[in-house]
Amino acid sequence: MRHTIRTATLTALTCLVGLCVPSLAQADAISPDDGWHQFKWDFKAASDGSQTNSPFTFKSSGPADLIVTDAYVAGDRFQVYDFGVLVGTTSLVNGAGSYTTDPDVAYLSGDFSGGLFTLAAGDHSLTFKTIEKAYDLSKKQPYVTGSAYFSVASQGVVASVPEPGTITLVAIGAVGMAFGRGWRKVRKRGAGC
């Protein structure tokens, strides 16, 4: 009877954790040196031009280069924040009309707004805010949604920061293991009587 109650309790706890973990993971953990990462914005969802993604988090043990570039239709410009502190603003662009889906081409062309920023060693939480929008010639108005890219190039050894959900899962796993050990000890004592 006890075994059935404990099994049901553990099953319920596991289901509860499964429902809670996605809400705990509030940041998109990235790994530096793994290429381009896309961020998006939607002026309908965030009227101030803030990105619609969660913050991007990582840790670097040394200085890192942050590269930001507009892509798709040229004309967007961004402010870059690390833990809510302004790191910098991407470059001004003269005119619009250029188009590419390739962030390498966009960054190197000079037709798209971009920037190179140095980040100090430590934890980082990046967010982006669109301060100028590309112009939609067919609708004769600025675009209200869009995407751009950033990349982090480490200048030292880098390790990713665990997401809050990962930390929670590890803690629950440790509690489950301890609970299981206690259950085995009780079973062994009961078997010897």
In CATH terms, is domain 28-158 a member of 2.30.30?
Answer: no
Dump pLDDT digits (tens) for 146-187.
999 999 998 843 344 444 444 554 555 555 555 555 555 555
Q: Which residue has the tokens 């996605």?
A: 22
- Model-level pTM? 0.67
Of 6-10, 45-49, 131-135, 185-189, minimum mean pLDDT range: 6-10
Share of the chain above pLDDT 90, in %: 51
Cβ partners under 8 Å of residue 119, min gap 6 = 60, 63, 64, 65, 66, 82, 87, 152
Dump pLDDT digits (tens) for 52-88.
999 999 999 899 999 999 999 999 999 999 999 999 9
What is the residue extent of each domain of the chain?
28-158
Helices (H), 52-163: 103-109
For residue 19, which amino acid is it?
L
Residue 92 has pLDDT above 90, yes or no: yes
Residue 14 has pLDDT above 60, yes or no: no
Do 52 and 42 contact (CB within 8 A), yes or no? yes
pLDDT at 189: 60
